[in-house]
Amino acid sequence: MIKTILIEDERLIAEEFKKILRRVPVETELSRTFGTVRESIEYLSVSEAPDLIFSDVQLPDGLSFDIFNKITVPCPVVFITAYDEFIINAFEHNGIGYLLKPVDDSDVEKALVKYKALESHFNSYHSFVRNFGPKKRSRLMVKKGIENIALKNEDIVLIYTEDKLVFAMDKEGKKYIVDKKLGELELELDAGLFFRANRQYIVNVEFIKGYKTYDRVKLQVDLLLPGLNHHIVISQEMAPFFRKWISEL
């Protein structure tokens, strides 16, 4: 039994897709259907990932690739679209298949058969993530000139990208180079202490002074460090998660 979810905003297409899944000979269980990037992020960020996701590319509030840019989803995706221009992006975002609309039974069956052929690989990967995934670090190795420094997590105010480099700033306002991407650091850092505000910033809760509404649907985070020349804005999609995260600490 392949457990799957569908991300598709057009109701008639979603209903037809459910009928196709019932007709194909590969046994599946479609647990949920979502119509927007926001709904999908809300569900996938707090729920166990399915075995496989079928997802339309173009959604009312953005491209479905935004889902996989903002959160880590440890399962493969079959993308569905009326256009072939997104095919490269699809295979950069967990994609194992790319179906062009209108989708028929044979298209879906081939995608499911492909998943079944790769199933042992995905099961091994999920097991690895659960048992041997990145350990939460108490220190971060950074560079200042030729010196390598172990910076304690509690001393880090924020981590950010600038001019294609990643930097960490400590509570004294000192700036260090980090030889990792923000996505890697997000997985390694303690989620109770750090929050990925957007594509550019990770912030430490101990240095958050407060937050306020920005541009009606976003949030602006204010940090305790005086004279900080950084404008940290949390998107509309991530704002509910930030409020929940900071209220539960």
Residues 92 and 166 in one domain: no
Structural domain harbouring 23: 2-132
Of 84, 113, 132, which residue constitutes the final position of a domain?
132
> Which residue reads 């729920």 in tokens?
47
Q: How many domains does the chain have?
A: 2
Residues 33 and 116 in one domain: yes
Residues 7 and 116 in one domain: yes
Residues 144 and 123 in one domain: no
Residues 73 and 149 in one domain: no
Note the pLDDT of residue 188: 79
Residues 114 and 151 in one domain: no
Q: Give the sheet arrangement for strand 208-214, strand by strand.
A: 208-214, 218-223, 232-234
Residues 178 and 153 in one domain: yes
pLDDT digits (tens, 9 = 90+) for 128-173: 444 444 556 788 999 999 999 999 999 999 999 998 899 999 999 9
Of 132, 161, 176, which residue constitutes the final position of a domain?
132
Query: The dihedral of CA 92, 140, 223, 228: what is its sign?
Result: negative
219, 230 Cβ separation under 8 angstroms: no
Residues 91 and 177 in one domain: no
Residue 219, number of CB atoms within 10 A of its CB: 21
Q: Where are the alpha helices (DSSP H) in the chain?
A: 11-23, 37-44, 65-70, 87-90, 105-132, 182-188, 239-247
Note the pLDDT of residue 182: 84
Note the pLDDT of residue 143: 94
pLDDT digits (tens, 9 = 90+) for 52-83: 999 999 899 888 888 888 887 878 899 988 76
Instruction: Give the span between the Cα atoms of 167 and 226, in whole angstroms.
Output: 18
More confident residue, 198 or 54: 54
Residues 128 and 175 in one domain: no
